[in-house]
Amino acid sequence: MEDNNVRFSTSQMLKWMEYVADMRQVSPEKIKLLNTCGKRRNVLATIATHKMILIFADDTHSNILYKCWEAGYGDYEMYFGKGYEPGEMKHCKVSDLMTDPISGPTVIFIVNENTRESMIFGMKNENFSMGTVKYVGHEIRSVIMNKLELDVSDVALLVNAESISIEASMVAYEGVIIAGERDKGSLRTMEENVSKFGVHNIEIISDLEEETLKKLPTPRVAFIVAQKENLENDIKTLLAVNHNIKFIFYTLELDILADIKYILEKNGVDVTEVMQITVSKTDRNSVFVAQPAPWIISGEAK
CA torsion 114-118-124-128 (nearest 10°) is 90
Q: What is the mean pLDDT of the chain?
A: 88
Where do the H-state alpha helices sit in the chain? 10-24, 43-48, 64-68, 138-148, 162-171, 184-197, 210-213, 231-241, 254-266
Give the HSE-up count for residue 7: Cα atoms under 13 Å, Cβ half-sphere. Answer: 4
CA distance 132 to 297: 26
What's the average model confidence in pLDDT over 157-174?
Answer: 89
Residue 61 is predicted with a pLDDT of: 82
Its pTM stands at: 0.73
Asked whether 297 and 251 are in contact (CB, 8 A), the reply is yes
Say whether 26 sits in a helix, a strand or coil: coil
Top-confidence residue, 133 or 54? 54
Q: CB 277: neighbour CB atoms within 10 A?
A: 19
What's residue 128's pLDDT? 63
Is 135's pLDDT higher than 80?
Answer: no
Enumerate residues 6+ apart whose C-beta is below 8 A from 148.
Answer: 156, 168, 221, 223, 248
Task: Count, in order, helices (H) and strands (E) of the chain.
Answer: 9, 14
Q: How far apart are CA 86 and CA 273, in angstroms?
A: 53
| Mean pLDDT of the region 116-136 | 59
**CA separation for the pair 179, 133 (Å, rounded):** 14
Task: Report the DSSP beta bridge partners of residue 106.
Answer: 57, 82
pLDDT at 173 over 80: yes
Mean pLDDT check: name the lowest of 86-95, 191-200, 262-271. Answer: 191-200
Dihedral sign for Cα 261, 232, 171, 119, please. negative
Confidence at residue 174, expressed as pLDDT on a 0 to 100 scale: 84
Question: Which alpha helices (DSSP H) does 40-97 contain, by range?
Answer: 43-48, 64-68
Q: pLDDT class for 268, splitting at 50, 70, 90?
A: very high
Q: Would you say 232 and 260 are in contact if contact means Cβ atoms under 8 Å apart? A: no
Residue 125 pLDDT > 70, yes or no? no
Enumerate residues 6+ apart whose C-beta is below 8 A from 114: none
- Evaluate if residue 116 carries a pLDDT over 80: no
Q: Per-residue pLDDT for 280 more than 90? A: no
* 263-273 average pLDDT score: 94
pLDDT of residue 2: 36
Q: List the domains of the chain with CATH numbers.
A: 10-111 (3.30.950.10), 125-301 (3.40.50.150)
Query: Which pLDDT score, from 0 to 100, does residue 47 have?
Result: 85
Whole-number pLDDT of residue 105: 94
The percent of residues in the chain predicted with pLDDT above 90, rounded, is 58
pLDDT beyond 90 at 24: yes
Give Dmax (Cα) for the chain. Answer: 70
| 118: pLDDT strictly greater than 60 | no
> What does DSSP assign to residue 130?
-
Residue-level pLDDT at 3:
41
pLDDT (mean) for 89-95 = 95
CA atoms of 255 and 178, how far apart (whole Å): 27
* Distance (Å, whole) CA 145 – CA 168: 7
Which pLDDT score, from 0 to 100, does residue 57 have? Answer: 92
Predicted local confidence at residue 38, as pLDDT: 85
